[in-house]
Amino acid sequence: MGFTDRFQKTTEPRHRLGAMEADHYIYSAGIAGEKFFTALRDRGIILASHCKACAITYVPSRLFCERCFAELTDSDDREVGPEGEVATFTLVRQDSAGNALPEPEILAVIRFGHETTGFLHKLGEVSPEKVETGMKVEAVLKPQEEREARITDIAYFRPVKK
Amino acid sequence: MNLKETNRSAAVVGAGMTLFASRLQETGKEMTWEAAKMALDQAGLTLADIDAVILGTAPDAFDGVHKKGEWLLDGAGGVGKPYMRVYTGGGTAVMAPIAGWWHVASGMYDKVLVLCEEKMSSVQPHAQSAFGHIWDPILDRPLKPNLVWIFSMEMQRYMHKYDVSYEDIASVAVKNKRNAVGHPCAQLADPDITLEDVINSEPMALPVRRLDISPPSDGASAVVIVRGDMAHDLTEIPVFIDGVGWCIDTTMWTNRDLAFPEFVVKAAKMAYDMAGIDNPKKEIDVAEPYDPFDYKEVQHLEALGLFEPGEAARATREGKTQRDGELPVCPSGGLLGVGNPIAATLGIKVGELFWQLSGQAGVRQVKKDIRTGVTQAWGDLMQFSSVLVMRRH
């Protein structure tokens, strides 16, 4: 049963059908985001920003440190990955309408060293039973000609072959 | 109400604001950080010195992120600190610093950072598509109201009741857009604008024309509020928050007196009583009332007790509210001249009074000696007002 099934008789005085519509939104990637996505598309790298004072590396790159407000400039850029470690994960077996997915999706938070922030992405080339916390994974990028400066330019992370 | 016995005084010691314009390049977080950093730098403080953070921002529908108060958190410097969002529509611009004030005046915190952010260019095709959903869904929305025609009806009622001419009201837009010429963050400053330009601008919903309205915008502003007894150590001339007030009228806007905003009178009375002001006409040296439309500036001046009902528009046409007039009004350039990123107008209201009263307003500086100012914002469903009285001690 879909979510709207209970609300069909909108001609009754009791209720109205409405929507909070906007045609669309334009979301800004931001100064640091533009740099991150350009590097991902053109150089195939995962760019991060390192705050020396707080000893923390933000993935993706950021314009400022949220802890101390220092401006993070080009000289604070760090390249992280492509290898990282699964900090936590979940398996998704149904879509939002409740239909079974042909293959379960695996979402994971990946860390690139203990001083980095977490990075959300998908896992691939691995069966759900084999996934575990602490697993070493590596980024699989789409071919350069298919990359469009989006987070999905990384196709997924897969286990590092031993 | 006990208005005379707050625990301790509070003062503004720094302010900052970004350029007001449609800003595709930066995220809301990045703009917020820029304004916050400026305010902290002016106060000579770092984020580590700040005890608590207040963020003001209006509808989530502008930025297109639900819970955008939490989303903006990192740019606001609130990570790991006591943090709250203030949201009273356009009234946020003065309500957020009022929340900052009570954090300090209560005795709980010594140094508080107050930010306001708005990014109205995200919602497409226009911010009006977000405003379309602020109305009652059963009674109002089927008639497809938009802000401009609602304000047109309010303006019409005001002009009728007090027999005020459109030309007198339009002179507010001329004054503010000219005042904004000296503002580094201004979006619509125009040194050559004339009354004829406003009168001949595109009709929107008559009597409202395009130049009677402030433009949607993106931007962020910030102020730092500290305990009064610390203020002189941080800046040469701190500006004290001596009175605060706020009030909300019925949500059914048809039930209100559309010509005279009684809720502004009540908010102002609270702030004046707290500040010990008996005669605002004599005791207020400079005013920054909320001016999203030119008629709102004059309505607000009247409700703030600075002019008699129906008198403020003619006084504006006569030049009494110019920067060098008897009562300088919106020396910043206001929303009409600098721009209207709803909550972020903090910088041209409270920020401007801080810079004016501490003598740091540069080319916008009011020449005569000013000591006491009042600022006010207005919002929610055109029903809410927040008022601050600021003073150099």
Looking at residue B7, its pLDDT comes to 78
Looking at residue A9, its pLDDT comes to 64
Q: Which of A28, A36, A68 to mutate to test the interface with B (most CBs of B within 10 A)?
A: A28
Q: Do the beta carbons of residue A135 and residue A155 sit within 8 Å?
A: no
- Report in angstroms the alpha-carbon separations of B34 from A37, A70, B343: 22, 11, 16
- Report in angstroms the alpha-carbon separations of B332 from B42, B114, B118, B178: 19, 20, 19, 10
Of B36, B124, B141, the CB nearest to A26: B124
Looking at residue B271, its pLDDT comes to 97
A67 CA: distance to closest CA in chain B (Å): 7
**A28/B125 CB distance under 8 A:** no
- Report in angstroms the alpha-carbon separations of B207 from B71, B151, B166, B178, B193: 39, 9, 8, 22, 19
Q: What ipTM, to 2 d.p.?
A: 0.87
If interface means Cβ-Cβ distance under 8 Å, which residues of chain A face chain B? 16, 18, 20-34, 63-64, 66-69, 71
Pairwise pLDDT comparison (A135 vs B124), residue with the higher score: A135
Q: Do the beta carbons of residue B113 and residue B224 sit within 8 Å?
A: yes
Write the pLDDT tens digit of every residue in A93-109.
999 889 999 999 999 99
Enumerate the β-bridge partners of residue A77.
A49
Report how far residue B153's alpha carbon sits from residue B58's, in angstroms, rounded to the nearest whole number. Answer: 24
Is B170 strand, coil or helix? helix
Of B28, B123, B138, the CB nearest to A22: B123
**A68/B74 CB distance under 8 A:** no
User: For A105, phi and psi rounded to 5 degrees?
Assistant: -95, 145
Question: In this structure, which amino acid lies at residue A83?
Answer: E
Cis peptide before B207 (omega within 30 of 0): yes
Is B77 strand, coil or helix? coil
B217 CA: distance to closest CA in chain A (Å): 14
**B129/A22 CB distance under 8 A:** yes
Is B181 strand, coil or helix? helix
The alpha carbons of chain A give a radius of gyration, in whole angstroms, of: 20
Return the ∠ at Cα B191 (arms to B186 and B194), rounded to 5°.
Answer: 115
Of B75, B79, B121, the CB nearest to A67: B79
B123 CA: distance to closest CA in chain A (Å): 5
Residue A1 clears pLDDT 50, i.e. is over it: no
Report how far residue B111's alpha carbon sits from residue B355's, in angstroms, rounded to the nearest whole number. Answer: 19
Looking at residue A138, its pLDDT comes to 98
CB contacts < 8 A, A to B, total 74
Enumerate the β-bridge partners of residue B118.
B219
Average pLDDT score over chain A: 92
- Report in angstroms the alpha-carbon separations of B368 from B248, B333, B364: 35, 18, 12
Q: Which of B22, B30, B141 to mutate to test the interface with A (most CBs of A within 10 A)?
A: B30
**B74/A28 CB distance under 8 A:** no
User: For B135, phi and psi rounded to 5 degrees?
Assistant: -90, 165
Q: How many CA atoms lie within 13 A of A62 on its CB side?
A: 23
Burial bucket for residue B190 (CB in 10 Å: 0-12, 13-18, 19+): middle
Q: Tokens 């089927």, residue?
A: B142
User: Among B26, B219, B225, B34, which residue's Cα sits nearest to residue B117?
Assistant: B219
Chain A positions touching B26 (Cβ under 8 A) are 28, 30-31
The predicted model scores a pTM of 0.94
Of A16, A33, A71, the CB nearest to B27: A33
The alpha carbons of chain B give a radius of gyration, in whole angstroms, of: 19
Q: Could you give the strand order of the β-sheet that contains A56-58, starting from the edge strand earlier in sequence?
A: A56-58, A46-51, A77-80
Chain A positions touching B24 (Cβ under 8 A) are 26, 28
B345 CA: distance to closest CA in chain A (Å): 21
| Close Cβ partners of A97 (under 8 Å, ≥ 6 residues apart) | A2
Chain A positions touching B64 (Cβ under 8 A) are 22, 25, 27
Q: How confident is the prediction along chain B (393 residues), in pLDDT tens digits per residue?
A: 777 777 799 999 999 999 999 999 999 999 999 999 999 999 999 999 999 999 999 989 888 899 999 999 999 999 999 999 999 999 999 999 999 999 999 999 999 999 999 999 999 888 888 888 888 888 888 898 888 988 999 999 999 999 999 999 999 999 999 999 999 999 888 999 999 999 999 999 999 999 999 999 999 999 999 999 999 999 999 999 999 999 999 988 889 999 999 999 999 999 999 999 999 999 999 999 999 999 999 999 999 999 999 999 999 999 999 999 999 999 999 999 999 999 999 999 999 999 999 999 999 999 999 999 999 999 988 899 999 999 999
B35 CA: distance to closest CA in chain A (Å): 11
Q: Do the beta carbons of residue B298 and residue B316 sit within 8 Å?
A: yes
A46 CA: distance to closest CA in chain B (Å): 20
Question: In this structure, which amino acid lies at residue A85?
Answer: E
**H or E segment to which residue B372 belongs:** strand B372-379
Q: Which of A17, A38, A69 to mutate to test the interface with B (most CBs of B within 10 A)?
A: A69
- Report in angstroms the alpha-carbon separations of B166 from A38, B319, B323, B334: 52, 16, 22, 19
Please name each of the domains of chain B with its CATH number: 3-123+215-391 (3.40.47.10)
**B37/A64 CB distance under 8 A:** yes
Report how far residue A141's alpha carbon sits from residue A42's, in angstroms, rounded to the nearest whole number. Answer: 11
Report how far residue B342's alpha carbon sits from residue B384's, in angstroms, rounded to the nearest whole number. Answer: 14
Q: What is the number of other CB atoms lying within 10 angstroms of the CB of residue B144?
A: 9
Beta strands in chain A (DSSP E): 24-25, 46-51, 56-58, 77-80, 83-94, 100-111, 119-123, 136-141, 154-159
Residue A162 clears pLDDT 80, i.e. is over it: no
**B24/A28 CB distance under 8 A:** yes
Instruction: Provide long-range contacts, Cβ within 8 A and 24+ apart, for B248-254.
Output: B248/B88, B248/B380, B248/B383, B248/B384, B248/B385, B249/B383, B249/B384, B250/B383, B251/B136, B251/B380, B251/B381, B251/B383, B252/B136, B253/B150, B253/B381, B253/B382, B253/B383
- Report in angstroms the alpha-carbon separations of B229 from B101, B276, B355: 14, 20, 20
Of B37, B64, B138, the CB nearest to A27: B64
Chain A positions touching B29 (Cβ under 8 A) are 30
Write the pLDDT tens digit of every residue in A30-81.
999 999 999 999 999 999 999 999 999 999 999 999 999 999 999 999 999 9
Of A22, A31, A64, the CB nearest to B130: A22
Pairwise pLDDT comparison (A10 vs B338), residue with the higher score: B338
**H or E segment to which residue B338 belongs:** helix B334-338
Report how far residue B237's alpha carbon sits from residue B219's, in angstroms, rounded to the nearest whole number. Answer: 26
Chain A positions touching B22 (Cβ under 8 A) are none
Chain A positions touching B37 (Cβ under 8 A) are 64, 69, 71
The separation between CA B328 and the C-alpha centre of its own chain, rounded to angstroms, equals: 16
**B80/A67 CB distance under 8 A:** yes
- Altogether, the residues listed in chain B come to a count of 393
Report how far residue B44's alpha carbon sits from residue A136's, in angstroms, rounded to the nearest whole number. Answer: 45
Chain B positions touching A18 (Cβ under 8 A) are 137, 141
